[in-house]
Amino acid sequence: MALVGVTKAAAMTGKSRATLYRKMHSGELSYTKDSDGSAIIDTSELIRVFGSLRRPGESREAPNDPAQDSIEMRLLQAEIARLQAELNAERAQKDLLRENVLDLRRMMLLLEHKEQPEAASETVEKKGRKGKKGLLK
């Protein structure tokens, strides 16, 4: 059972001191206080909450392997190409649906074919004049 201060715990976990304090105050990370009133954390508690710990001077990242980087690059490029093709297909689908909506609107207008309000009033006036022609003169 090794006890460490918050600064050393932050270095061992790769987390910030603020993150540790936040987890301590929320009860997610248990701690005790030493005789000075400083928070101390058991390393087993750090492992429980954060997983494996770093050794001093150790980096979380693995050394770069050019072969691995090349494989990952090709996988990412393939994924990008797949997503671009999917996006293009979705755009084509959207355009097709938009054209269908326009066609349906045109068909709707043909089915409803209504006279323009001005044309309809002129027709009524013409019909009305024919019937009143003899009365006014």
For position 68, what pLDDT does the model report?
A: 77
Please give the angle made by the CA atoms of 105, 111 and 115, to the nearest 5 degrees: 100
Give pTM, 2 decimals. 0.42
Residue 120 pLDDT exceeds 70: no
Q: Binning pLDDT at 50, 70 and 90, where does residue 93 land?
A: very high
Q: Binning pLDDT at 50, 70 and 90, where does residue 90 land?
A: very high
Domain annotation covers residue 78: yes
Q: Which domain holds residue 70?
A: 65-113
Please give the angle made by the CA atoms of 122, 128 and 134, to the nearest 5 degrees: 135
Domain annotation covers residue 33: yes
d(CA 132, CA 125) in angstroms, rounded, equals 10
Location of structure tokens 């609107």: 105
Cβ partners under 8 Å of residue 56, min gap 6: 11
Please give the angle made by the CA atoms of 59, 60 and 63, to the nearest 5 degrees: 70
Domain annotation covers residue 71: yes
Residue 67 pLDDT exceeds 90: no
Domain annotation covers residue 134: no
Tokens at residue 120, please? 């309809």
Domain annotation covers residue 18: yes
